[in-house]
Amino acid sequence: MTDHVTTDHAVESQDDLREMIGEPMHLATLKEQPSLDHHTREFINRSPFLVMASVSGKGHVDVSPRGDPPGFVKIVDDNTLILPDRRGNRRVDTMTNILENENVGLIFFLPGFEETLRIRGRASLSRDPADLAGMEVNQKAPELGIRIDIDTVFYHCAKALKRSRLWDPEAQKTSEGYPKYAQIVRDQRMPEKPVEEIDDFIQKNYREELY
């Protein structure tokens, strides 16, 4: 680990930052809401994908993708959400962090819609059957849920998605020629294994262990 190096070009205070960037637009200062409304509920009900940030007790930050059929996040009420925890690699980084630090952040995406929805809140883990009811996919229910008590909710402007052209089919061609994940796994972790053998394992896991 390298030591933090201060230079004459570093921005090291909020005053310096504001002098450079300026004050937020008036509309931006008004957009935070303390709970869901009919627009944000509908966005969540349509969203098939989100990313979730969590922080360990030591301050280490993790960001995890979560995806399922639209409506996979249960809206309990305007202040409470429940996310199903589906089968993964059993690292449980997010859930371990939540047990140490309840503060989380979420960004919901809606394919084709360029604004995103951000939520900050406090998370806890639940195995209550009432919380997990109705969250089955392929007749398989999650064993755990992540309960989110909402502190703030607001829309994030479309500039990042416009700049990235995220929903533009032409922009998706940037992945062409990139090595398949099995090749990356071989190069990074399993140089003795054939790529085909690794790929067979990965694809079998995707087919059989999504739920």
Q: For 22-42, how does the pLDDT look when each residue is reduced to its tens digit (9 = 90+)?
A: 887 777 777 899 999 999 999
pLDDT higher than threshold 90 for residue 18: no
| pTM listed for this prediction | 0.88
Mean pLDDT of 12-29: 82
What pLDDT digit, counting tens, does each position of 182-204 carry? 999 999 999 999 999 999 999 99
- pLDDT at position 17 is 84
Domain boundaries, the chain: 31-164, 179-208
Q: What is the DSSP string of the chain?
A: -PPP---TT---SHHHHHHHH-PPPHHHHH--BSS--HHHHHHHHH--EEEEEEE-TT--EEEEEEE-STT-SEEEETTEEEEEE----S--HHHHHHHH--EEEEEEEETTEEEEEEEEEEEEEE--HHHHTT--BTTB--SEEEEEEEEEEEEEPSHHHHHHTTT-GGGGGGGTTPPPHHHHHHHHT-TTS-HHHHHHHHHHHHHHS--
Q: Give pLDDT, residue 16.
A: 85
What is the model's pLDDT at position 29?
72
The CATH superfamily label for domain 31-164 reads Electron Transport, Fmn-binding Protein; Chain A (2.30.110.10)
Residue 98 has pLDDT above 80, yes or no: yes
In the chain, pLDDT over 90 holds for what percent of residues? 76
Q: Is the pLDDT of residue 1 over 60?
A: no
Render pLDDT for 135-159 as a digit per residue (tens, 0 to 9).
999 888 999 999 999 999 999 999 9
